[in-house]
Every structure is written in C-alpha cells, then in structure tokens.
Chains A and B, each alone.
Chain A
Amino acid sequence: MSDNLQPRGSDETTLDQPLYTPIKRRSFFMYAGATAGATALVLAGCSKDSDNNPNDAALIDVGSSDVGVLNYAYALEQLEAAFYAQVLTGAYFTGAPAAEKAILTDISIHEKIHADFFKTAITAAAPTQIIKALEVDFSSIDFSNRTRVLEAAKLFEDTGVAAYNGAGRYLTNDTYLTLAGKIVSVEARHAALIRDLISNGTFADNTVLDANALEMSKTPQQVATAVNTYLRNGSKISATRLV
C-alpha cells in the first residue's frame, strides 16, 4: 500500500509514465479523504502497483541464463510485432505518406520475423521453458495520431536496443550471442529511422548515448518494468533471474 505513495525512481524509464503519473502525497490524502470513492481508488492503486512487483505470482518469469535471455528477447519481439501490427490497422497509417507506410510495413515484418524466429528456436532448444504468447495492452496509445504512434515506436525500438545490449553478457552460447548481435543492429537501424521521422538528426542523441558516445544499455529488470505497462495482467514479465 505505502508503495503507492512513493515517487517514481529517477532511474526508471519514461516508457511507463503515461499510465503511472505519480499522485502527490498531499493530493492522495485529499482524494482518500473524499469518502465514497476512496476505497475503490486505494484498491485500484494497489492493483496498479502490483503490476510491476517482481514477487507477483502472476508475472511470467523469463528464466535464467541462455534460455532466459532468449525468452526475454522473445517477449520484446512479441511486443514490438504486436505494436506494429496494430499500427498498420490504425488511422494514422491509413493516411500516412507512402514513404512512411513503406517504412512501418518493413519494420512490422522484421519484428514478426524476429518473434516467430525466437518461438521456433526456443521451442527447439528448451520446449518446456518457452514463455507463452503474450497479450498486449496498447490502450494508452492513440493509433490515429502520428506523433503518438512514432513516439511509442521510438520507445519500443530504443528499449529493444538497450535491452539486447544489456542482456548480451548473460549469454554463454556463442551462437546465441551472435544472433542477438545480428538482431540488435537491425533494431538500432529502426530506432534511428523512427527518430529521424520524428525529428531529423536525432538518430543517436544524448537521450540514448552517454558522454562516451556509448549506447546506454538497460538491465533486464529495468526493461521488464518499462514494457510491462504494455502487457496485460497475466502477461507481464519478470526478468529477475537474469543477473
């Protein structure tokens, strides 16, 4: 309960901000004192908070070591593939210039290729450990709005790059490490182009690079917290055993 009153950590990604706008402590008590709706509000707050609680039994544990990283990548690729599939049915895409349609169509197919690849690869390598098909929740994204769609795409692509970079160290198998490398550079190409569509020249700015011009990779835990915003209850992931 008290966790609901905590401000967001400064190191959290901005990916989940739209759904997790913090309620100032004082405001919270003002609402809480407003009798009728108070209990419902508090319960809603608890439910919301537990979405990202790594101890929640409903979370899907991607596992550890090589299979854990593959499941983690599979989860991210499923999310991206589902996102672009929905983009392609949205009003923004329908009315978009031909060049943007071509770009988004290409990316949507790349992501589907990645997701289906991991499904087959993990099924072959560890049939009992593969995670299920995830159910997504993009209700916070307005698919009729170009800016909203491209900003979401930017977050998914940047997060994907940071995730692969951060997880490479947990792979023991050379083949898998090379495969992750083959995919992450394509994700980086996507990320750069989506950023250039939003604002030309922002392909590698200081929101994703550090002072040494290295990409700022993210830990599996950071990424899981960020992407769980876009996964339904029962499909949210935990990556706490990738350490």
Chain B
Amino acid sequence: MNFFQIIEEIEKVDPEVYDRLDSRRAIFNSLRGIGQKVTLATAPLALSALFSKAYGQTSTIPAGVRGVLEFALGLEDLEYQFYRQGLDAPGLTATLTGAGRTAITTITAHERAHQIFLRTALGATAPADRGAAPFDFTGSKGGTRQALFPTVYTDYNTFLAVAQALEDTGVRAYKGGAPALKVSPDILTAALNIHSVEARHASHIRTMRRTIAGGVAGTPSLSASPKSWISGNDGGGPAPSATAGIYAGEEITTQATINLLTNTTPNPSVALASESFDEPLDAATVTAIASNFLR
C-alpha cells in the first residue's frame, strides 16, 4: 500500500482526482467506489493528509455542515478516550475481562475509526486530536469539584453506566445534527451510517449491564433494567443529576402530532410507545452533558 496505488484506485472512480480541488462531495463518492478495492484503514493517517490536500479545502464545506462534523468529532474524541482509558485502567483489569473486554475493545476501535474518518472529511483544518488531556471521566473537572463518577475506572458497573450515558448521548446528538447536513447528501449518509453504529453500541452496553445485573456471564438476559432501548426517561441505574439531561424528553409518546398510544392497534403501554422512538438532542444540551467530562 502506497500513495500512488491509492491515487490510482481513486482515479478509476474519479478520473479528475488530480484536478479536484473544489468538490467536497467527491471524496465520499470516491471512498465508496474504492471501498472494495483497498483497505483504507491500513493507512488512515497518511490518507488523511492526502485527502486534506486534494479535497480538504475548508471553503467548500458549508459552514453549518462543518460545524456539525466538528461537533461530532468532539464526541468521538471523548468516546474514544473514555474507552481507551477504561481498557488501560488497572482498577478494571480484574473485572473488564472475557466477552466484556472483547466488546469494549471492538467499540473502542469503532470510535477510533470514526475519529479518523471525520478528521479526514474535515481536512487540514480539522480540530487537533488532543488525546487524553481535555478529559476527566470521573466528572470532577480536574479535581475542581466533587466527582460525579469517582469509581468510573475501578468499578465495572460504574464504567458501563457511564459508557451507556455517552453512547445514548451520541445517538441523540447525531440525530439532532442530521437536518443541518441535508445540503450535503453524501455527508448526511455518512453521518447516518455513524449514528446507527452508535445505537448498536448503546444497545450492547445496555445488554452488558443486564448481564451483570443477574444473567449468566456472556449470555444476554432480560433479568433487569436497562432494556437495550430507552424506556421512558429511565437511564437504567443510578446516575447523578448532572447527567439527567441525557434522558430528558425520551419519554414522549406523541410523534408528529400522532398519539402512539391511541394510534396503534392494539394500544401499547406508555413504556413501549416511548421506546419505539429515540429523541434528538440539540447541540447546547449535548455540550452541557459532555462538559461534565471535560477538565
């Protein structure tokens, strides 16, 4: 794998790759076209630099789209660091094992891939990856207030509770950002394709929490809360009031003025009606939630 090979592959689907300096959308078309031929993940950082030159002209991404992508990148940075530190935490080595460690490792890799993908899309002026420095996942804001989750990296249950909070927040955030991406259909599709992966993560983290709560290790059960989907505004376990906003509004049972409780035959319970739709969150609320984990 080298740059010339990659460019040749791109040239097959985008003959004007060398001239292309002004089409943001082209990068996604190109990536889709060559996806079967090269494994982009093998040289992501190098590719990022390449695409930044060929496609990364900031002026060609509408400002609104760029804002959403940068916001999404911030969340991916946060999620990746949360899991990375969890995998490395000495206090979790005895409990984060087996299928649980495998799953967290998988999710960590996905968040990393999302980081790289979004930085590539944003190009040369993408916000820098500051690593672990900005984050304090105990929620003490660098020791300046009482920690919200003092045992996040020593207690497995707390670790998973925070993981669920971050994943569910991510799902709501991507949903909230979608309309602003409509002007760039390829970017919208890419964002939707990240959004559903975050939802898969959230589902699995919730399944893991039930397993701990009363099931057989490694075998999903439904012995306790939380369900794999958001029921009412129940976060499925103790969470400090600082993060209550994560589930605020999820309890609604009316969608587009249609009352799901009476519209559905037979009429469902309030819980099931609330579960059947996830809700978006605006950027300000997401920022407020995320800021709990910033120094």
Contacts and interface: CB of A to CB of B under 8 A. Distances in A.
Chain A at the B interface: mostly helix, strand, loop or mixed? helix
B179 A178 contact: yes
Interface in A64-100: 98-100
Contacts of B227: 106
B140 interface: no
Interface in B80-133: 99, 102-103, 106-107, 109-111, 113-114, 116-117
A122 to B, nearest CB: 11
B277 A121 contact: no
Interface residues of B, number: 68
B144 interface: no
A117 B263 contact: yes
A227 B8 CA distance: 37
B194 interface: yes
Interface residues of A, number: 56
Contacts, number: 205
A45 interface: no
B241 interface: no
Given A186-B276, A188-B197, A204-B204, 15 more contacts: A99-B222, A102-B222, A106-B272, A165-B192, A168-B189, A171-B182, A174-B182, A184-B195, A200-B218, A200-B219, A203-B203, A211-B113, A213-B111, A215-B194, A215-B197
Interface of B: 31, 35, 39-41, 99, 102-103, 106-107, 109-111, 113-114, 116-117, 171, 174-175, 178-179, 182, 185-186, 188-190, 192-204, 207, 215, 218-223, 227-229, 255-256, 258, 260, 263-265, 268, 272-273, 275-280
Interface of A: 98-100, 102-103, 106, 109-110, 112-114, 116-117, 120-121, 161, 164-166, 168-169, 171-172, 174-175, 177-179, 181-193, 196-197, 200-201, 203-204, 209-217
Per CB-CB distance, the 4 closest pairs between chain A and chain B, nearest first, are: A213-B113, A188-B199, A192-B203, A185-B199
